[in-house]
Amino acid sequence: MKIGIDDIRGFLAVSEAAGFKPAADRLGITSSALTQRIQKLEDYLGARLFDRSTRSVVPTELGRLFLPEAQRIQQEFESSIARIQDVVAQRKGLVSFACLLSVASGLLPNILTRFRSEVPGVKVRVLDDTGLRVADHLRLGRAEFGIDMWHADNPEFEFEPVVTEPYVLACPPDHELAQARTVTWERLAKSTYVAFGLDSGIGRQLAMSQRLSGEPYEVQHLGTMLGLIQAGFGVGVVPYSAIHGHPFLTHRPLRQPKITRTIGIVRRSRSTLSPSAESLRRIAVATIAAAYQSLPEAELFGHVRADKKL
């Protein structure tokens, strides 16, 4: 036999009204239905909760002891329901998502600015990490979804592509290559440049192209690369998302060859996002797509271009 919150509410109503008929009227049920609830609760506890007479209903000693516990149970239940309703209504709560460092570097501020405007009561935990770690955060349940680049098909995850973005040359605005409309890898080889090492996902993708004859500096992290480029140590090759909106650096298209990657939303297969996470996912897709609207070298996916919310 199991008891529920309605049985607790019935006990509290009888205690407060000092009778079954007024308590039943308050709950909107019949007196017999309320009597059944109290009997079930008494059977579960193994003792009577009320002494009944034709004139009065008085709590037993056990009933008096149980009263504050029943009040606490009801308060905790109602508080829990209120918290869940706040999460569903996106008034409170926490949403966690994982994000490629390169995307976080250039696009994350715009994503979070819009999310804060639309869903101000929800906190956000960003697990900004390397491509190898984004999937780990999802697998371990630390994040509801991730912004990642496409990998080989994996039945553990579902991937929603948003844009195929190009790798571009990043350099200070006063660098000689900043004056070119496009830059070839052959021309890049004549400049001092900062390269990604093989511990970096970007470095592994660019491994063949980065084998240039220039005088490179090698780093493993995007922030280090952008800092060295800004400090005048050379130029570098980064995905467009990493340089978008950078206040001190500019970019130029790279040719011969043109190298791209596809980024999008990744989640665990057959998982349902919380309302706040779904709002953040929608905002992320729209914000990412908007950043590429004026970039001819980028290719937005059809479902993104057709989204009226963009």
Rounded-to-integer distance, Cα 265 and Cα 111, Å: 13
Same domain, 243 and 177: yes
137 and 82, same domain (yes or no): no
How much is the pLDDT for 303? Answer: 66
What does each C-alpha distance from 242 to 72, 101, 122, 149, 223 come to in angstroms?
52, 8, 26, 13, 9
φ, ψ of residue 210 to 5 degrees: the values are -80, -5
What mean pLDDT do residues 99-115 have?
A: 92
73 occurs within a structural domain: yes
Establish if 202 belongs to a structural domain: yes
Domain boundary among 53, 88, 123: 88
Indicate the SS3 state at residue 269: coil
Listed in sequence order, the residues at least 6 apart from 64 whose beta carbon sits closer than 8 Å to its beta carbon are none
Distance between CA 262 and CA 159 in Å, rounded?
A: 10
User: What is the C-alpha separation between 308 and 310, in angstroms, rounded?
Assistant: 6
Do residues 157 and 272 share a domain?
yes
pLDDT at 115: 93
Number of domains in the chain: 3
Residue 310 lies in a domain: no
Which stretch of 95-109, 199-213, 226-240 has the lowest confidence by average pLDDT? Answer: 199-213
- Over the stretch 133-170, which tens digit does the pLDDT of each residue have? 898 999 989 999 999 988 777 888 999 999 999 999 99
pLDDT band at 308 (very low <50, low <70, confident <90, very high): very low
Q: Are residues 183 and 245 located together in one domain of the fold?
A: yes
pLDDT in tens, 168-213: 999 999 999 999 999 998 888 888 889 888 777 788 888 767 666 6
Are 37 and 184 found together in one domain?
A: no
> Which domain does 240 fall in, by range?
164-260
Helix axes 5-17, 20-27, angle to 10 degrees: 130
CATH number at residue 198: 3.40.190.10
Asked whether residue 260 carries a pLDDT value surpassing 50, the answer given is yes
- Do 27 and 149 lie in a common domain? no
Position 188 scores a pLDDT of 87
Average of per-residue pLDDT across 244-264: 92
Element (H, E) at 135: helix 131-139
What whole-number percentage of the chain has pLDDT above 90? 48
Say whether both 301 and 279 belong to one domain: yes
Residues 41 and 24 in one domain: yes
Q: Which residues make beta-bridge pairs with 239?
A: 167
Q: How far is CA 53 from the centre of its chain?
A: 59
User: Where a domain ends, among 88, 105, 132?
Assistant: 88
pLDDT value, residue 198: 79
Residue 306 burial (C-beta neighbours within 10 Å; 0-12, 13-18, 19+): exposed
Determine phi and psi for 97, rounding to 5 degrees: -145, 155
pLDDT score recorded for residue 206? 83
**55, part of any domain:** yes
Tell me which of 88, 122, 144 is where a domain ends: 88
The confidence score (pLDDT) of residue 119 equals 87
Q: What share of the chain in percent tops pLDDT 70?
A: 92
**Residue 69 located in a structural domain:** yes
Residue 265 within a domain: yes
Within a domain: residue 279?
yes
Name the β-bridge partners of 165: 261
Residues 286 and 214 in one domain: no
Q: Do 81 and 112 share a domain, yes or no?
A: no
Same domain? For 147 and 283 the reply is: yes
Residues 202 and 55 in one domain: no
Q: Write down the mean pLDDT value for the chain.
A: 87
Q: For the chain, give the number of residues.
A: 310
Rounded to whole angstroms, the Cα distance separating 263 from 116 reads 23
Question: Model confidence at 79, in pLDDT bands (50, 70, 90)?
Answer: confident
- 53-77 residue pLDDT tens: 777 888 998 888 899 998 998 888 8
CB–CB of 141/216 below 8 Å?
A: no
